Structure 1
Amino acid sequence: MPLPRPNPVPIAAARPRKQPQPSPGKENLVTGKPVSSTPGPVANIRTRRERPCDACRRRKSRCVIHEGAVLCVLCEFHKQECTFVQSPLPRKRKVVEDGKKDSPNPRKKSRSVDAEPPPLALSTPTITATAPSPPPTLPPPTNHVFPQLGETLGLQRRQHSRYIGLSSPFDSLLIGLSHFDTRNESPFDLGTLRRVNDHECFIMLPDEQTQEYANDVETLSLVEQIVQPHGPALLDLYFYVVHPSFPIIQKHLFIERYRNGDRNLSPALMAGIYMLALNWWSSDSKLAAYTKPDAARLEALAMQALSRSMKRPKLSTVQAGLLLLQRPESDGWSLTTQLVAIGQELGLHLDCSSWSVPVWERGLRKRIAWALYMQDKWSSLIHGRPSHIFGANWAVRPIIDEDFKEADDAYEKKEETDEEKEDKQRGQDLFAQMIGLTMIMAEVMDTFYTQTAIHDFANAGKNSTALILSRAKNVQLKLRKWHEELPKSVKMQSNTGGKLSSTAPGYLHLAYFATEITLHRRIVQSLDPSTHDPYGFFMCRSAAKTRLISAMDFVNRLKPEHLQAYWYFASKVNFTLIGTFGSLLWATAPAQEEADFYKMRLQEYRWTLSVSSKRANFLEYAVQMLDASRAMLHNLAEKPSLAQQISTAGVPPAAPSNMAPPPERQQSSDFDMDEFAELKRNVSNGSFHGFQNGELERYLSQAGSRNGSGLQTAEGSVMDDTSRSA
């Protein structure tokens, strides 16, 4: 990108102008430029210190022309002639009382993109939220063109892109016959072709040709009016609480545009940012003293603006939709479906690592793509519906540290403290680990909850549990490895200092328990005490019980700073899934003592959620769903006692005779009555939390060789031990 040119030297109105002689290294004045943007001889060589074109001079705008281009950016946007014919307009000088003439207002000069940006207004102590009188709706508009956007594919100001697939009418061989300029663009009757590499191509279309394009500026003003004078403070809250672990916005470029009053900011995106930040309104001591803005009006404007932007989709469209779906009260299955389609239209499902777009846009596209992937997969889990993203058509590479850097957008100038760098790295680790966990969760859904899998298990009949256990082996190993390799920065023992945390890892660990519960839930659903091996039946339920207790204990350990932090959109349902799993184990318990145990734990869990909901309002949903599931259990028939069940199911009197007992049972192959009485007491008082590490695995491995055990699989593999503690 060429360096920006300085502004022209002001010329006094009273003095006659002299035709300046060309200085060394300067070319002669050219009277005009052709209108067409077709590549050809460069006819826009400028004099007088690279003066602006006639149109930009009239607008008093910064004139930017890319290397090799014929038209400047604004003339290209307006489809008009770009000439250098007119003389500079005389400047009027204001006379002050002392008779001296004022120098031109330095604020009128556009700052170079490479210059040091002014201090970030969002972080100063004297924010506008505390001012007694409201400021203007938006910062005063400036003439910044932001040439970084003109070089992008998905964030251009007056154009939007649509991906051209291989099977579309635009055949790739025919596209290859087109003549592309230095910007990899080729104009034709339907639009402009934009080639990003040798294989992928997009068509660029003007925004003005879409419906209701002019309404966006008005909508943006209405959004700002609702939150004024607290817009900068809310933006500050968003970038402190949400952005570190959900980095789908190019922060520094976005703030620069906001600070300069860019009227082309997406109103849906701005409304989404403000609505999310409102969740922490009371956490800011300065904001809490004021009346909270109307979130319902913001939502109405946001949804209208988002619907309009889908007709001219850009990266900001997906960003806005993802933020609106992060609200705890949103239930956006349909919107998720629309965003996946828009993401595919923008090429977010493709590998952009070699595209001819700015490096920072590649990283941004990858972050948005993986955020969209997680939105689709977790929506599939919490709604119990099919996913819309499939591995065969997903070419996005794994996220790496380079994808989070913003230095290449020319606005990363501020030096960060060690604490800021640590928080930033922790947020990146959170985002990356959530992606890895989501991929494992997606494998669980594909393995156990697709229609094909359900059909396979139904056809297996009495061997359904064996089939499920055999398929669970690999995914359980991946889940264990993910948990063991978690970076220290995202573990729950990380100290938050008793304050609002910008990178609390609570939602990540909750998602881990939800994934394990989703796996064990399918196993428990397949167990049948009348046909299943009693010992294997007991071992599978013991592993499930251990996962439930670990998840409940995790919720009990959450601190206020964890509860008040940012929670991923699926968290309210993930909290609910823990209660649902407890209700399932209660309903399928073979003995009354075990059922009473789950009943007691669910009562404790509900109490914990109700208390925690005072600091995290979205937990009220989990309480309501827990009450609903408990209401269904009122019709549950009374179960026989453990003593009546000891010889048939639940707690078997002995391990299978031709199987070597576990090491702790070597002295006796049977449970005697004293041992049973102790086990019964432990189950009744809640001190029994399942078998130790490896016992379930040993049982399944040895029981698989027995005839008729129902645990031997075609591959000879069985479920991994899952009774470990979190």
Structure 2
Amino acid sequence: MIAAARPVTNPIMAKENRVSVRPISAAASNVRSRRERPCDGCRRRKSKCVPQDSNRCSLCEFHKQECTFIEDPQPRKRKLDADGRPEMPLKKRSIESKVQQYQLEQHVVPVSPPVSAKSELPPVIKDPGQLGDTLSLQRHRHCKHVGRTAHFEPTLIELAPYGSQNEAITDFGVIRKVNNQEFFHLFDDNTSSIDEDEARSLQAVEQIVAPYGPTLIDTYFRNVHPSYPIIQKDVFLNRRQHGDRQFNPPLLAGMYLLAMQWWSREPGLAKQRKPDIDRLQIIATNSLILAMQRPKLSTLQAGLLLLQRPETNTWNLTVQLVALAQELGLHLDCSEWLIPTWERGLRKRLAWALYMQDKWSSLTHGRPSHLRSADWNVQPLHAYDFGENSCVQHGTGGDGFDAAQEENGRTIFTEMIKLTQITAETLDAFYTQSAVSDFERAGNHATRLILERAKPVQIKLKDWAANLPACAKMDSYTPDELSTNVYLHLAYYATEISIHRRIVASLNPASAETYMLYICRSAAKTRLISAMDFVNRLRLEHLDAFWYFASKTNFALIGTFGSLLWSTAPGKEEAQFYDMRLREYRWTLKASAKRVEWMAEAVEVLDANRTMLNALPEKPIALCKADTVMGVKESILIPPKQPFVPMYSEDPGEWPYEDDDDLSQDVEVGA
């Protein structure tokens, strides 16, 4: 049963503007208003000061004593924040935030209160980002989405009396309404032990990177943020500018850890001793576990940033973040929610970043995805969803960052989302357990079934590549300036390889038609050569840029696909061709690994594959036409005179792709 709440019109302003009717004693020379403090007697007793019609409050009337306002307040012992300053009381911060919100809504210009010679409280730090108005970024509260099958019925919750903040006090806690269908249960962050741990963690993080913290923050926003915009930059920088240091410890640590990838390339840092990365990583991981107990958007941001590092990319953490995001309601459409506009945009960007994290983790780890399309209702991103006012049309933005670079980065981020949706279709079509069962039941006709499923996905990939904006193309870069669009192209090749990898693995030379064997292997070889040539074209501007977390595995997938083609080659000449190309690819990766250390893991995967390939029996010399490619005879199966007719086609002239050449035609993404 829902208890009725008291109607709230504007409780904060009503209390602040209440006028005392009690006359002021002439003996009290330093009298202050009752709305500012209790009387001296109630202050000493730490009791509530209740005014009466007489000149005394209720307690002073009871004790038959004079009600004065002469004594100075007693000094209080307060907690210190990360910078060693006294921490503001929770109640005062809450009131300050609500007053600011009311003033904004009523267009009231705030008036600074008179400054007393002996101030009871430390100076109030303004909240430039207005975190108190947000749903999932409040300082001292966290929220959990109320699901439709939970023991709370949304229809009944709708009946509760909601105040100006769209919050209702019920028998089971505070409920916030974001629209007529979605509700969140609000909880206080009242675990003091966690607060103390977070304060110590934040202090430790700052000590590890000191005095280079500000430089690393600038490095992060210059190199990572443009193409991975999961932080509200203007809010973050405004908070730092106004002296606010109450940041989420794992989030700040994640930003520092990613920024340190460019330590040797920053003029002000290159000659300095690098901070202890291992210790910073441990603090970030441990503090993230604590932060998950009180889920907020900052917790999700921290987890996503830590997952961008090759050392911390784990499937377990990805799954935890999916669960955390669902508690925050990130899988829902927030376009019309009653929350700040910038928070709506941030929630959408975070939701799609999580979507990409889940799908690419599913591909790279070979695990089932935890985000189902039936439960995903996040709308596509638009320009206004990025909601940062720092950029101008020319030159740099108001915060000193390149506006054009940030605009290009947003385009790459948006295109990566579109590509990931196609990648998700690929995983559903070929790698789910139901798909594997379908192929097993198809027996000798499995390849035909796979080709039919591949056609719509392949067409979408081709259209995506053809419609790439100019700034996202491979050849779109400026010399001596970092270009982040390469991880987008690498992801494209990984998606194509995932399709052809399934096709090649299903081919059975003993039972497959000669033409189908020819066209499938030719198309697969074309994709492999195109992907390897892409890696050969990488420049320093690409290698030194930000790489998406899946890039490490995507480089390895190219080599794994080449090893698959080598192992299934019908003749010795074709096997030798793949052997030669894989040796060249390994050399390229090893040379690049001197610049980008994590590429060495792709080299290790190549070496492991080659060790397993040593167990292959010697290939026979193919009895077919041979062409010379780069000095090596490459066996090419001769296609039959009559075209292959698919099993499931009623029209003898129809092929699962648009034409016979569509399978072997290369889509040049950078063109």
Are residue 680 (structure 1) and residue 627 (structure 2) matched? yes
* CA distance 1:68–1:593, shift in 2 (3 Å): closer
Report how many aligned residue pairs link the two structures. Answer: 579
Alpha-carbon offset, residue 258 of structure 1: 2.6
Distance 2:87 2:287 in 1: 32
Q: Is 1:151 paired with 2:133?
A: yes
What does 1:300-379 correspond to in 2, within 5 Å? Answer: 300-379=282-361
TM-superposed CA distance for 1:490, in Å, is 0.8
Scaled by the length of structure 2, the TM-score of the pair is 0.80
Distance 1:431 1:377 in 2: 15
1:289 aligns with 2:315: no
Q: How far does residue 519 in structure 1 lie from its aligned partner after superposition?
A: 0.3
Once the two structures are superposed, residues 329-370 of structure 1 have per-residue CA deviations (whole angstroms, 9 ceiling, x without a partner) of: 223100000000000000000000000000000000000000
- 1:415-439 deviations in Å (ceiling 9; x for gaps): 8616923212100100000000000
2:324 is equivalent to residue 386 of structure 1 = no
Encode CA deviations 1:631-677: one digit per residue, 9 max, x unaligned: 0000000011023xx3xxxxxxxxxxxxxxxxxxxxxxxxxxxxx3x
1:628–1:144 CA distance, 2 compared to 1 (3 A): same
Alpha-carbon distance in 1 for matches of 2:129, 2:212 = 29
Partner SS, residue 234 of structure 2: helix
Distance 1:89 1:575 in 2: 62
User: What is the DSSP-based 3-state SS (H/G/I as helix, E as strand, rest coil) of the residue aligned with 1:424?
Assistant: helix
**Cα deviations by residue, 1:275-307 (Å, 9 ceiling, x for unpaired):** 111111111122011111011101110111100
TM-superposed CA distance for 1:618, in Å, is: 1.1
Q: Distance in 2 between matches of 1:545 and 1:633?
A: 18
Deviation at 1:535, TM superposition (A): 1.8
1:718 aligned to which of 643, 656, 663 = 656
Report the Cα distance in structure 2 between the residues aligned to 1:221 and 1:686, rounded to whole angstroms: 64
Please give the alpha-carbon distance, in whole angstroms, between the structure 1 residues aligned to 2:188 and 2:350: 23
Give the superposed CA RMSD: 3.5
In the other structure, the counterpart of 1:587 is 567
In structure 2, the partner of 1:510 is 490
Correspondence for 1:253 = 235
Q: Which residue identity is paired with 1:449? A: Y
| 2:657 aligned with 1:631 | no
Does residue 262 (structure 1) correspond to residue 240 (structure 2)? The answer is no
Partner secondary structure for residue 618 of structure 1: helix
Q: Which residue of 1 aligns with 2:117?
A: 91
With the length of structure 1 as denominator, give the TM-score of the two structures.
0.74
Matched, 1:184 2:125: no
Maintained 8 Å contact 2:313/2:549: no
CA-CA distance at 1:208 after TM superposition: 1.1
- State the Cα deviation string for residues 241-297 of structure 1 (Å, max 9, x = none): 000000000001111223344242100000100111111111112201111101110
Say whether the 8 Å CA contact 1:536–1:699 is kept in structure 2.
no
Check conservation: 1:211, 1:311, Cα contact below 8 A: no
Indicate whether 1:550 and 2:534 are aligned: no
Cα distance change on mapping 1:31 and 1:530 into 2, 3 Å: closer
Cα deviation, 1:30-82, whole Å, max 9, x if unaligned, reads 7899x9xxxxxxxxxxxxxxxxxxx999969887364699999xxxxxxxxxx
Q: Which moved more, 1:515-524 or 1:712-721?
A: 712-721
CA distance in 2, matches of 1:722, 1:283: 43
* Counterpart secondary structure, 2:497: helix
Aligned to 1:703: 644
- State the secondary structure of the residue aligned to 2:229: coil
Change (3 A) 1:69 1:620: closer
1:64 equivalenced with 2:96 (yes/no): yes
Could you tell me which runs of 5 or more consecutive residues in structure 1 were left unpaired when the two chains were aligned. 6-15, 21-27, 36-54, 73-86, 94-107, 111-141, 647-675
Give the gaps of 5 or more residues in structure 2. 1-9, 14-27, 39-47, 49-75, 79-85, 105-112
Q: Which moved more, 1:240-249 or 1:63-72?
A: 63-72
CA–CA distance in 1 between the matches of 2:502 and 2:631?
A: 26
SS at match of 1:64: helix
Contact 1:496 1:504 in 2 (8 A): no
1:19 CA displacement: 10
CA distance in 2 between partners of 1:219 and 1:699 (Å): 72
Measured in 2, the distance between the counterparts of 1:366 and 1:310 equals 20
What CA distance in whole angstroms lies between the structure 2 residues aligned with 1:713 and 1:684?
44
How far, CA to CA, are the matches of 2:429 and 2:648 in structure 1? 18
**Native 8 Å contact 1:68 1:182 kept in 2:** no
* Native 8 Å contact 1:159 1:206 kept in 2: yes
1:455 to 430, 434, 437: 437
Shift of 1:687: 8.2
Residues 567-612 of structure 1: CA deviation (Å, up to 9, x unaligned): 0000000000000000000000000000000000000000000001
Give 3-state SS (helix, strand or coil) of 2:142's partner: strand
For the structure 1 residues 289 and 261, does the alpha-carbon distance in structure 2 shift closer, same or farther, using more than 3 Å as the test?
same
Matched, 1:172 2:154: yes
> For residues 184 and 618 of structure 2, what CA distance do their matches in structure 1 show?
65
2:511 to 531, 552, 560: 531
SS in 2 for 1:208: coil
Structure 1 residue 722: Cα displacement: 3.2
Q: Does structure 2 retain, via aligned residues, the 8 Å contact 1:467–1:713?
A: no
Runs of 4+ in structure 1 displaced over 6 angstroms? Answer: 16-20, 28-33, 55-63, 67-72, 686-691, 713-716
Alpha carbons 1:268, 1:320 under 8 Å: kept: yes
Check the 8 A contact 1:473/1:717 in 2, yes or no: no
Contact 1:593 1:641 in 2 (8 A): yes
2:187 partner SS: strand
Which residue does the alignment assign to 1:228?
210
**Which SS does the other structure have where 1:681 is aligned?**
strand
Q: Deviations over 1:200-246 (max 9, x none)?
A: 00011001147623211111000000000110111111100000000
1:476-495 correspondence to structure 2 within 5 Å: 476-495=458-477
Paired residues of 2:333 and 2:378 also in contact (CA < 8 A): yes
Q: Is the 8 A contact 2:515 2:644 kept in 1?
A: no
Secondary structure of 1:202's aligned partner: strand
Name 1:569's counterpart in structure 2. 549
* Match in the other structure for 1:402: 384
Q: How far apart, in 1, do the equivalents of 2:596 and 2:584 lie? A: 18
